[in-house]
């Protein structure tokens, strides 16, 4: 069940779900699972996916849209859109899309020179599974997420060790990456 509970201006209905998720457009939804929380971000068609690969592609697409929004907002705030780029200036990424199995996922594969390198110390939007996706978005403050505990909603960011939860979810993905290898063009953290 995904229900809009706040539309950016007023409360629509009483909050009852196990989880609440607030998005960048100032809407808040109630959900009962991480998959439903991911569907709030990725679109309701996410709930109809028949395979983990399709779900991953929808998470990647949603992550790219969020990442591009963040980068554009930063460029506007810093006045970078008004000036010509200095090609000699150091380039640091503020946010990248990342999957433990393959590494950095470029925003575009169609550019003649696809940038697989990791520049600086960027925030990661993780796309391995619903949990890492939601935890990383909350960690980077790109959403706000709450869980109902003993009748009260508690914000993930304030009550959970998000890094530890992400690492716990990554165990099976790290094992799979070691066994199967990965796409050699993608760069992983620390390479």
Q: What is the mean pLDDT of each run of 10 residues along the chain (191 residues)?
A: 94 95 96 98 97 96 94 80 52 87 86 85 96 98 97 96 97 84 70 70
Residue 115: the pLDDT is 85
Report the pLDDT value the prediction gives residue 168, as an integer from 0 to 100: 97
8 Å CB contact between 29 and 5: yes
* HEC-encoded secondary structure of 10-52: CECCCCCCCEEEECCCCCEEEECCHHHHHHHHHCHHHHHCCCH
| Cβ neighbours, 10 Å, residue 98 | 24
What pLDDT, on the 0 to 100 scale, is given for residue 33? 97
Q: What pLDDT, on a 0 to 100 scale, did the predictor assign at position 190? A: 75
Beta strands (DSSP E) in 50-120 are 95-99, 103-105
pTM of the model: 0.89
The reported pLDDT for the residue numbered 8 is: 87
The pLDDT, as a whole number, for residue 166 is: 97
Residue with tokens 């907002």: 73
């Amino acid at each position: 069940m995904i229900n809009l509970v706040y539309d950016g201006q007023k409360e629509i209905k009483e909050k009852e779900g196990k989880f609440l998720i607030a998005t960048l457009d100032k809407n808040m939804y109630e959900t009962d699972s991480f998959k439903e929380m991911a569907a709030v971000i990725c679109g309701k068609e996410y709930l109809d996916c028949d395979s983990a690969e399709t779900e991953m592609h929808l998470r990647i697409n949603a992550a790219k849209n969020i990442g591009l929004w963040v980068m554009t907002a930063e460029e506007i705030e810093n006045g970078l859109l008004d000036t010509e780029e200095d090609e000699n200036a150091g380039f640091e990424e503020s946010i990248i899309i990342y999957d433990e199995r393959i590494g950095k996922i470029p925003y575009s594969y169609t550019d003649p020179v696809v940038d697989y390198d990791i520049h600086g110390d960027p925030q990661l939007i993780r796309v391995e599974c619903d949990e890492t996706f939601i935890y990383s978005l909350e960690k980077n403050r790109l959403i706000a997420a709450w869980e109902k505990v003993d009748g009260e909603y508690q914000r993930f960011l304030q009550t959970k060790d998000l890094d530890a939860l992400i690492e716990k979810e990554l165990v099976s993905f790290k094992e799979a990456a070691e066994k199967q290898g990965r796409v050699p063009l993608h760069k992983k953290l620390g390479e």
